[in-house]
Homo-oligomer: A and B are copies of this chain.
């Protein structure tokens, strides 16, 4: 129906971005080990809460403060309700953090190999940035962060390397940036170790960001949050309210709050994934793969004898999806999400067959 030609003057003032390409979301049944989702369903209470939703009330705006969810999270982390900010997935929360806190002329620092959205948000908001290189073992070099900056952000564990750094490392970065905000993106912390949350009382420049998409099995509901001191959370809320007062739907608020409450189920799921991961490491080693030690729900692995791009395509042909980036330094790696034991068995069987046919 559109027949009019586009006017180049209109195009001139449009913000152009290099869009992030998310992992594929095939809609058919496949072995899906490509976007670090949880292989187990969310807490059983979520189904009950959904069934009890009063759809007649959908006609009303949700509570803009998402108080029930904020309060469940505050209680869970033993912090004040004024220390929690919630958003539509941690991507929404992180993007709001970039917009709110990274307004210096000096560059924001994040690793060259890390969550690829950081660069995209910096470019979207025209924030200067620099990317210190990970070392040869894919570790963040803390000394590279001892310089003037407009802020720092890094995931811990880092993605896609799965490497976890202990809290003294996090503290070193916080201590060297007293005048800037430091964001620790803890999307995978539940599979890893101690959280930077325990440093909140000592560093007023710290923001810890979390997601419901990984350990909480709620990627489909879009919930993320930040924990910090009340002052930084207030600035974040001011920007959020000016952007869109009602971001969290009634359903996200209710289901999210319920998911937080069931700590026993949560711990059991994590335990299962960690056990599968440790076993998967052994199996991958037996198959000849090399990888940094993973503390997340995925393994970043290369094989010295097989091209990662070809492996990726071969697996895909068998409906086994892992993640591969055709980028410098990581071209020979696959990021493999930890699925159920059965899914991992299918992956390993496919790899064995592939290797056999190639030798």
**Across the interface, do A61 and B219 meet the contact criterion of CB distance under 8 Å?**
yes
- A170: CB under 8 A from chain B? no
Copies in the complex: 2
- Complex CA–CA separation, A37 to B56 (angstroms): 12
With CB as the reference atom, state the residue of chain B lying closest to A35: B61
Complex contact B15–A79 (CB within 8 A):
no
Q: Looking across the interface, which residue of chain B has its beta carbon closest to that of A228?
A: B2
Binds B, one of A135-143, A234-242, A284-292: A234-242
Contacts of A83 in B (CB 8 A): 2
How far apart are the CA atoms of A123 and B62 in the complex, in Å?
25
Instruction: Judge whether A204 is part of the interface by a CB distance below 8 angstroms.
Output: yes
**A22 at interface (Cβ–Cβ under 8 A)?**
yes
A46 surroundings in chain B (CB, below 8 A) = 55, 58
> Which range contains the number of A residues in contact with the other chain?
35 or more
* Cross-chain contact of A60 among B3, B37, B51, B104 (Cβ < 8 A): B37
| Contact call B37/A230, Cβ cutoff below 8 A | no
Whole-angstrom distance between the Cβ of A258 and the nearest chain B Cβ? 10
Show the binding face of A for B, using Cβ within 8 Å.
1-7, 9-11, 13-23, 25, 27, 32, 35, 37-42, 46-47, 50-51, 53, 55-64, 78-80, 83, 88-89, 91-92, 95, 99-104, 117, 120-121, 123-124, 150-151, 178-181, 200-205, 213, 217-222, 229-232, 235, 237-239, 241-252, 255
Query: 4 tightest A-B contacts by CB?
Result: A9-B179, A41-B56, A220-B250, A19-B241
